[in-house]
């Protein structure tokens, strides 16, 4: 199962979704996808992540530094929902106003479905530059697909090593 969907949501807001089946149980999928420090593994525009020492839970705050060419932007993140190992919802602010929802569903034979949904809009002059940069490399839907497939590889490698 693999799917991609992008559509207009609210005025100026776009939704991109991508789902993929993974050869690993939900707990291993969660272990990899719920740690924002892994984000640079999956997206070359993410250059730094600062997470609280005591980990994440509902209400936690952390930051992600994104770089588009030589321009850097710090994205403040807030955990809106945190339901291990099934669901997380994160609000991003700054130049990228977005909500990222990650869902994991269990399948038979220690398999899972990983689904990401991103509702987003870039804001301000720096946001316009970032949007143009993302579009120049294939758009948000391509970035989401590429990142999710990179997660799939990392998760399946970790599951196989156990």
Which CATH number belongs to the domain containing residue 65 in this structure? Answer: 3.30.530.20
pLDDT above 70 coverage of the chain, percent: 81
Q: Which residues contact 130 (CB under 8 A, 6 or more apart)?
A: 66, 68, 71, 73, 95, 96, 122
Question: Among 142, 152, 155, 119, which residue's Cα sits nearest to residue 45?
Answer: 142
pLDDT per residue over 51-82, tens digit each? 999 999 999 999 999 887 788 889 999 999 99
How far is Cα 153 from Cα 29, in angstroms, rounded to an integer? Answer: 11
pTM above 0.85, yes or no: no
Tokens of 20: 């993929």
- pLDDT at position 5: 43
Domain that holds residue 44: 2-161
pLDDT band at 144 (very low <50, low <70, confident <90, very high): confident
**Among 27-31, 92-96, 104-108, whose mean pLDDT is lowest?**
92-96
Total count of domains within the chain: 1
Average pLDDT of every residue of the chain = 85
């Amino acid at each position: 199962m693999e799917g991609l969907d992008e559509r207009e949501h609210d005025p100026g807001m776009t939704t991109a979704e991508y789902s993929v089946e993974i050869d690993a149980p939900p707990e291993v999928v969660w272990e990899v996808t719920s740690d924002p420090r892994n984000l640079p593994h999956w997206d070359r525009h993410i250059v730094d992540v600062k997470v609280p020492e005591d980990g994440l839970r509902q209400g936690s705050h952390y930051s992600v530094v994104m770089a588009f060419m030589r321009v850097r932007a710090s994205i403040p993140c807030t955990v809106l929902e945190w339901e291990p190992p099934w669901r997380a919802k994160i609000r991003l602010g700054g130049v990228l106003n977005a909500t990222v929802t990650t869902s994991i569903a269990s399948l038979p034979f220690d398999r899972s479905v990983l689904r990401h949904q991103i509702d987003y809009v870039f804001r301000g002059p720096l946001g316009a530059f970032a949007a143009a940069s993302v579009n120049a490399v294939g758009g948000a839907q391509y970035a989401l697909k590429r990142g999710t497939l990179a997660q799939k590889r990392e998760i399946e490698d970790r599951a196989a090593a156990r």
